[in-house]
């Protein structure tokens, strides 16, 4: 009887864990194309709070990246920086988001001459709302995803598992 009880308890525990995992996965869904972009306010590299609502009337390129000053993230940031005049000509702003601190963003911008805003999401709130929270070796970080938000605040395109080398050109091609 106790063996049967142990098996039943084990099955119940396994079912609970699977259900909890499924609930966690459901909570990490990305916002859908055609829906309003989740609102946010995050500090930029200079500490200024930046809100999505500040850019009403402009296109917003909201890109999530794993870590300041790493190879792929540096390539991606340079591609956006190099294309900044083309984005500005299309009335688009670029906002990079990671879970790094604003101090880390300051160093990244200074070291790599980045002039667009990098936003710090140390609480992982915005990264989570955009379905872009990831983990690598036990550390939370942003997954490399990009969202194109139209001037009215709706998501018009989503790129997941972005290629850092082509991210900027892919987004530019999608802008009207």
Question: For residues 86 and 168, is the Cβ–Cβ distance under 8 A?
Answer: no
Question: For residues 143 and 161, is the Cβ–Cβ distance under 8 A?
Answer: yes
DSSP structure string for 115-129? -SEEEE-TT-HHHHH
Q: Is 109 a catalytic residue?
A: no
Rg (CA), the chain: 19
Q: What is the Cα–Cα distance from 42 to 47, expressed in whole angstroms? A: 9
Q: How wide is the angle at C-alpha 62 spanned by C-alphas 176 and 150, nearest 5°? A: 35
Catalytic: which of 42, 50, 61, 73? 73
**Chain centroid offset of residue 135 CA:** 13
The dihedrals phi and psi of 31, each to the nearest 5 degrees, come to: -65, 145
- Positions annotated as catalytic residues are 73
């Amino acid at each position: 009887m106790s063996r049967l009880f142990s098996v039943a308890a084990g099955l119940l525990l396994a079912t609970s864990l699977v259900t909890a995992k499924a609930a966690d996965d459901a909570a990490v869904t990305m916002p859908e194309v055609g829906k309003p972009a989740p609102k946010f306010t995050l500090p930029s590299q200079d500490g200024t709070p930046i809100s999505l609502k500040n850019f009403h009337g402009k296109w917003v390129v909201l890109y999530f990246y794993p870590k300041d000053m790493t190879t792929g993230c540096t390539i991606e940031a340079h591609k956006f920086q190099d294309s900044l005049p083309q984005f500005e000509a299309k009335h688009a702003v670029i906002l990079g988001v990671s879970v790094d601190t604003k101090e880390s963003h300051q160093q990244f911008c200074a070291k790599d001459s980045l002039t667009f805003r990098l936003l710090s999401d140390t609480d992982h709130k915005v990264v989570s709302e955009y379905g872009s929270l990831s983990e690598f070796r036990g550390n939370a970080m942003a997954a490399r995803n990009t969202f194109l938000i139209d001037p009215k605040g709706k998501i018009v395109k989503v790129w997941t598992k972005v290629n850092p080398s082509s991210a900027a050109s892919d987004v530019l091609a999608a802008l009207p």
